[in-house]
Structure 1
Amino acid sequence: MTSLDYAQMFRLDDRHAVVVGCGGIGAEIAAGLAAQGARVTCLDKDPATAEAARGRLPDGQARGHTAYPVDVLDESALDVLADQLGDVDVLVLTAAVNVRKQLLDYSGEEFDRVVGLNLRGTFNAVRAFGSGMARRGSGSIITLTSIRALVVEPGQGVYAATKAGVMQLVRTLAAELGPQGVRVNAVAPGVVETPLTRQIRDDEAWGRAYAEKSALGRWARPEEMVGAVCWLASDAASFVTGSQVMVDGGWTAIDGRFTPPTG
């Protein structure tokens, strides 16, 4: 007989989930994890953003949902908070930044800022919370990468390099933490309607071109990233590690932006 309870395998009851980066997609992920029964801690550099995400969660006081400000580039603050929060079963990392410029126009400061948050921030957060998971012998770590981990366009070079780098960290962490029972995976969104993509969607031709690139012919909504994250967090994905789940509407599956005649 199977050891999985098929009726409950997607549930996260009695688990503590930490979401790092709670604006936009992160806020939806926090809400989704809570809806599956998890006790959620919302972390963000901006205290108001963390608290706003926590405020959306059902039965916040009764369920013990919490919110804290923290900068993932502050290693000591992360370590203190990780000790304060105690056992963490699920860690979701969404914090990232992009500077859209061609590479030859990039400044050193801009390069360091993008690489610092996207790569070093991921490293810092995993080190702070992953060690406890390894000691306990269980846990699920989920990072958000991007279609840019696989495909690029002008102006996305440094961001794309960091997202590809995060995926290599995911694979290495899966190999290193797997023997301790910790799974590490990534979710790669396509183009999503968030405040960060407003510049693109405000340009009618640019926004339409992005929509038409996917097989579904539209942009994603932030809540459409939640299902993949909750699955990876749950027992339903108990044998999934080192993987990158594409939630891109078929963007990376399609060759080119032209449909040739087939008749």
Structure 2
Amino acid sequence: MDYSKLFRLDGRSAVVFGGGSGIGREAARALAGQGASVTCADRDLAAAGEAATLAGENARAYHLDLLEPGAVERAASELGDTDIVVLTAATNVRKRLLDYTREEFDSVLALNLGATFDVLRAFGAGMVERGRGSIVVFSSIRSLTVEPGQSAYAATKAGIVQLVRTAAAEFGPAGVRVNAVAPGVVETPLTEQIKADPDWYQAYADKSALGRWAGAEELAGAVAYLASDAASYVTGSVLFVDGGWTAVDGRYVPPGS
């Protein structure tokens, strides 16, 4: 084993769904930094282009709306043999259950869970046929711990974990690995509502062991690890990158401690 190349991805092709911003953009940069040829796929083509520019000469932009019927299958065909797939795209409607409409519920499920199903099937098929590949899907701490207003989002993120585990079980014999990353609170466009409220923002920061939010770039290392040979025996796993949130959630610091 040449440990100097443990995390290198030279000669491998990757696609990052949701690669135009936030965690997806940083994941694309990290994969390109390790030598992969990266496709930044996003419904916002301009954002995908900016992300590809940041990732370097081995990156390109690709327009894709994950909710468009047949779009994921078309992408799997057009992008050719893909070694690494990363899915970060997600949405959330923060409302209590009694205020939720079925339309809002369905919209969250369609992107968070439905797109995961489509990506696993469309890209997993080619990987199984070729006998290699790594798929990384983003779950959340909300797959494990919830709060008021997170019903649909939490349900989808828990569902993603079980889809990932099932795909890992089914694709594993062919040499294909499937894992999930579960972030805590991260500075991304999806969390703008929280960041706009200083008290809410600080309350979330205080919940983690590190006492702060994560930058999107702090999730990129987990993606690069799971995509690389460093994780060659890791599949069906959920990697929590949450600053210790789930380890200390609800903690109480006694007086004098």
Q: TM-score, normalised by structure 2?
A: 0.97
1:258 to partner: Cα distance: 2.7
Cα deviation code 1:101-128 (max 9, x no counterpart): 0011101110010000000011111211
Q: Decide whether the 8 Å contact of 1:119 with 1:166 is kept in 2.
A: yes
Letter of the 1:122 counterpart: T
Letter of the 1:115 counterpart: L
Letter of the 2:10 counterpart: D
Distance 2:132 2:176 in 1: 5
Structure 2 match to 1:240: 234
Q: Decide whether the 8 Å contact of 1:75 with 1:124 is kept in 2.
A: no
Distance 1:205 1:160 in 2: 23
Query: Map of 1:129-208 to 2, 5 A cutoff?
Result: 129-208=123-202
Letter of the 2:25 counterpart: A
Structure 1 match to 2:16: 19
Q: Decide whether the 8 Å contact of 2:91 with 2:190 is kept in 1.
A: no
Distance 1:131 1:256 in 2: 42
Q: 1:105 aligns with which of 99, 109, 118?
A: 99
Q: Decide whether the 8 Å contact of 1:73 with 1:124 is kept in 2.
A: no
Distance 2:210 2:158 in 1: 24
Letter of the 2:124 counterpart: G
Query: Map of 1:26-175 to 2, 5 A cutoff?
Result: 26-58=24-56, 60=57, 63=58, 65-175=59-169
Question: Paired residues, what number?
Answer: 256
Structure 1 residue 5 corresponds to structure 2 residue 21:
no
Distance 1:259 1:198 in 2: 30
Q: Which moved more, 1:41-50 or 1:71-80?
A: 71-80
Q: 1:258 aligns with which of 240, 252, 255?
A: 252
Secondary structure at the counterpart of residue 7 of structure 1:
helix
1:257 to partner: Cα distance: 4.2
Structure 2 match to 1:217: 211
1:244 to partner: Cα distance: 0.4
Letter of the 1:101 counterpart: K
Q: Any unmatched runs of 5+ in structure 1?
A: none
From the superposition, tell whether residues 83 and 255 of structure 1 become closer, same or farther in structure 2 (CA, over 3 Å). Answer: closer
Distance 1:230 1:162 in 2: 24
Cα deviation code 1:77-96 (max 9, x no counterpart): 22222112111000000011
Quote the sequence identity (%): 62
Letter of the 1:36 counterpart: Q
Cα deviation code 1:117-176 (max 9, x no counterpart): 000011111211111100000000000111001000000111000000000000000000
Secondary structure at the counterpart of residue 245 of structure 1:
strand
Letter of the 1:203 counterpart: D
Distance 1:145 1:255 in 2: 18
Secondary structure at the counterpart of residue 56 of structure 1:
helix
Q: Any unmatched runs of 5+ in structure 2?
A: none
1:255 to partner: Cα distance: 4.0
Letter of the 2:16 counterpart: V
Secondary structure at the counterpart of residue 261 of structure 1:
coil
Distance 2:12 2:132 in 1: 11
Distance 2:68 2:102 in 1: 21
Q: TM-score, normalised by structure 1?
A: 0.94
Secondary structure at the counterpart of residue 140 of structure 1:
strand
